[in-house]
Structure 1
Amino acid sequence: MQNHNAMQNQNAKALKSVCIFCGSSPGRDPTYLETAVATGQALAKAGVTIVYGGGKVGLMGAVADAALAAGGRVVGVIPRALVEREIGHTGLSQLHIVETMHERKTMMAELSDGFIALPGGAGTLEELFEEWTWAQLGIHQKPCGLLNVKDYFAPLIAMVERMVAEGFMITAYAEMLIIETKVEALLRRFATYQPPPRKWLRTDVAAKP
């Protein structure tokens, strides 16, 4: 029990930065914007550095502005071609301007101890799914989570359950995706996250011909 508690404490201390994936639009319901603000404030209060896509509009900007106003540290990563299109945030603690989307995602991953998706579009899902897939493959051992505002991700959660039911994903990998409605709850679960054995090394995964 002591060793387990020590491991939990070590993981909790290691959570110094979290990458936020979310929309560059605010969404139609004010609840999305309110949640983005609350998320930025909560992460700043917890002393967690926010890493995100570097824009100042939509939910992206709301998270960043709220964290900065609360005294938090916010690091943005944005491709040069999107600085004007996504209106790059010039008031961040640090802004990295890179050349490609691949560089953007690589740097965001390297700077982060975990990944949280708020509501957003295709880009938000693509970014989260890459990190979740890489976690399954053992490329990293960082937690991935959904902040399920207004049950926004219900169809996605149902699709993940369908993947398991149809034999395209084992339950352990589905459960890697941590789902909560409050960022504080996500952080608590992130702090004690233990990844399952990475894909293809599990003894219960049948070998493919």
Structure 2
Amino acid sequence: MTAIAVTTWSLEQTSADDLSPAAPPEEGRDVRIVRAAGPSPEFSRFLYTAVGGDVIWTDRLGWTYERWQAFLERPGVETWVAYERGTPAGFIELEAQGNGVVEISYFGLLPAFRGRRIGGHLLSYGTARAWDLAERWPGLAATERVWVHTCTKDGPHAMDNYRRRGFRVFETKTEEEPETPPPGPWPGAFTTPPET
């Protein structure tokens, strides 16, 4: 199997004042962001495969229903979903890690919704929710740091979006990984560009 070099960047904010929000989509567009407050392994797996299918998200593909359920029920785990005209367009997943640290564990848009100015808005909204996470979860420490990682396998605009929102790189590493074809949410899903 062929190996490829994958560079991973870890980025952080250390104050809520670091957040530089994107402008919301223009007035008249029906874009809403809603918390998926009821843990649903089926819905979370759908979002994970639909968003990550063409950018090689594979680490959760083998998760059982029970593992998804246990993860989603953990205190301080939240999924916020962007909808455009009632259709899921993307999501951002937050995970409290203790001691006031919150990771944006996953963030992205379904391919058909990229390039529509939804990503910056969703990242801004989700990052703000990371900063006020303790308000919704009694017993969690107030957020002191929000972090995220991205890599060369992610979408081409991911790093720029994070930097524009005020995230700063604190670690960079490059490792050899086996070359993996994009899994797609189903075979052949990305052979024809979606119509918009």
TM-score, normalized by the shorter chain, greater than 0.5: no
TM-score (normalised: structure 1): 0.25
More strand by share: 2
Relative contact order (alpha carbons < 8 A, sep ≥ 6): 1 or 2 greater?
2
TM-score (normalised: structure 2): 0.27
More helix by share: 1
